[in-house]
Structure 1
Amino acid sequence: MPTTTPPAHVHIVKENRWAKIDLQTLQVIYSTLNSKELKKALELTKQHQTQFKEKWNEWFSR
């Protein structure tokens, strides 16, 4: 039975709060971060988006 790869995303964790961000669209899928933390998480995700997608593809092409 083939496995399904989920859409590329990252999890950002700060203390007991977190966010899940789609790597294609940079849309927030879910977040418990406050607005300042979420803004920073989105900035960092955008800044490293290419590297994150490359690592995602490496991991799921094994």
Structure 2
Amino acid sequence: MAQDILCQFLEVSFGAESQALQETVRTITDLEVLSRITNQIFLAAQFEEVSALIQSSLHPH
């Protein structure tokens, strides 16, 4: 469900440019990570910000 919401946001906001990122989102199964991304993604205005947010959630320091 959270994956679907994130992918829909990416598709509507960024279109075809977001396809690879949508595929990445579909691989995320940790609900805590998905929730964190969902809460923060709406604050990101540009594709690069969204991509960085998702990537940093997958590989936290």
Q: TM-score, normalised by structure 2?
A: 0.34
The structure carrying a bigger strand percent of its residues is 1
TM-score for the superposition, normalised by structure 1: 0.34
Higher RCO by CA contacts (8 Å cutoff, separation 6 or greater): 2
**If you compute each CA radius of gyration, which structure gives the higher value, 1 or 2?**
1
